[in-house]
Amino acid sequence: MDPAKRASVGGRSETHLEEQVKDWLRYGEDLGLSPYYRDRPPLHAIVESAAGPVESPSVATSSAVSTAAILASAPAMIAAAAPGRASGAPRNVAASASQKSPAATILPATAARSLFEVIERIEGDTLLRIREDIGDCTRCKLHKGRTKIVFGTGNPNADLMFVGEGPGRDEDLSGEPFVGRAGKLLTDMIKAMGLQREDVYIANVVKCRPPENRLPEKDEITTCSPFLMRQIDTIKPKVICTLGSCSAQTLLQTTQGISKFRGEWFDFRGAKLMPTYHPAYLLRNPGAKPEVWKDLQKVMAVLGLQPKKR
Ligand code: SF4
């Protein structure tokens, strides 16, 4: 393209500005956004759309304004698209309000959306259809060692949804989530909240048991978690309570340890999200039970629940 046709914005050439836009977009991808941006237009299409055609001087002027506005908003764009990823910190409800930028409204729509909002909601989706889509799944390596796929169980219209990391041995054999010792403790926790297990929905980030009960690996989470997102979109719980670090880190897209943000409220796809410790952790560390009870009491307050009378 003829450099003479490039507009000058604030003393910088448009070519330079385009390079900066590209740098910001690459930066976003370096932060790990790519698995959830499969539907995003190609990088060159976003840049061309932002810059616009430059063949005529009048169009070049308007495109220069658009490019300059996007550049001014680029840090907010990245922060909004990847809450806390640069620092490894999740974005809580209070923080999200303070991050709103008027300039963000002129950004390309796909670039300003949060990670899992990019996974489109499927109109008319049902739990049955999701289970059928999973089928006899071999999409990731976890299928090799599983006995049964552990899809999830509970009230399909639940106000409260618990999300763990993945099935253990008992769950793998039975096909039900949280049925071992940790599952019994979770059931007790649910009853202490004044609910029955059938009142809530329980699912995991991955549906097949990781070998030796190791944590699910990144590729396994990336492959399987869209099914969880569809379950959440279908159930539409008011509150999601994540159990343990894996589910919290997956949904909130952070690498921070759960002890740093446990007990705080977060927004997630229209629900309020409360991260707390995994029941298996409580079995090993009973001293953490009062902290979890505090988290559950916050959930109860939002849902208007009364603790079970002893
Ligand atoms: S963990 Fe999920 S993606 Fe992997 S094989 Fe099982 S159902 Fe499929």
Q: Which residue's alpha carbon is at the smallest distance from atom 3 of ligand 1?
A: 224
Is pLDDT at 169 greater than 90 in this prediction? yes
Question: With contact defined as beta carbons under 8 Å apart, do 176 and 150 qualify?
Answer: yes
Q: What is the mean pLDDT of residues 153-158?
A: 98
pLDDT surpassing 70 at residue 108: no
Average pLDDT over residues 221-250: 97
CA 70 to chain centre: 25
Phi and psi at 7, nearest 5°, equal: -80, 160
Summarised one tens digit per residue, pLDDT across range 23-33 is 655 544 444 44
Contact 162, 201 (CB under 8 A): yes
Residues forming beta bridges with residue 272, ordered by sequence position: 239, 267
Task: Name the CA dihedral angle for 234, 235, 237, 240, rounded to a multiple of 10 degrees.
Answer: -90
Lowest mean pLDDT among 9-13, 82-86, 131-135, 272-276: 82-86
Evaluate: CB of 131 within 6 angstroms of ligand 1.
no
> Does the pTM of the predicted model rise above 0.75?
no
Residues 235 and 286: their CA atoms lie apart, in Å, by 32
* Residue 208 CB less than 6 A away from ligand 1: yes
Higher per-residue confidence, 82 vs 237:
237
Distances in Å between the Cα of 274 and the Cα atoms of 25, 206, 221 are 31, 19, 20
308 confidence band (pLDDT: 50, 70, 90): confident
Ligand 1 atom with minimal separation from the 220 CA:
4
122 — pLDDT class (breaks 50, 70, 90):
confident
pLDDT, one tens digit per residue, over 181-208 is 999 999 999 999 999 999 999 999 999 9
Distance 204 CA to ligand 1 centre (A): 11
- Ligand 1 atom with minimal separation from the 227 CA: 2
**Tokens standing for residue 193:** 């909240």
The residue contributing the CA closest to ligand 1 atom 6 is 208
Ligand 1 contact, 143 CB (< 6 A) = yes
Domains and CATH numbers, the chain: 3-118 (no CATH), 127-303 (3.40.470.10)
pLDDT score of 15: 62
> Mean of the pLDDT values across residues 269-289?
97
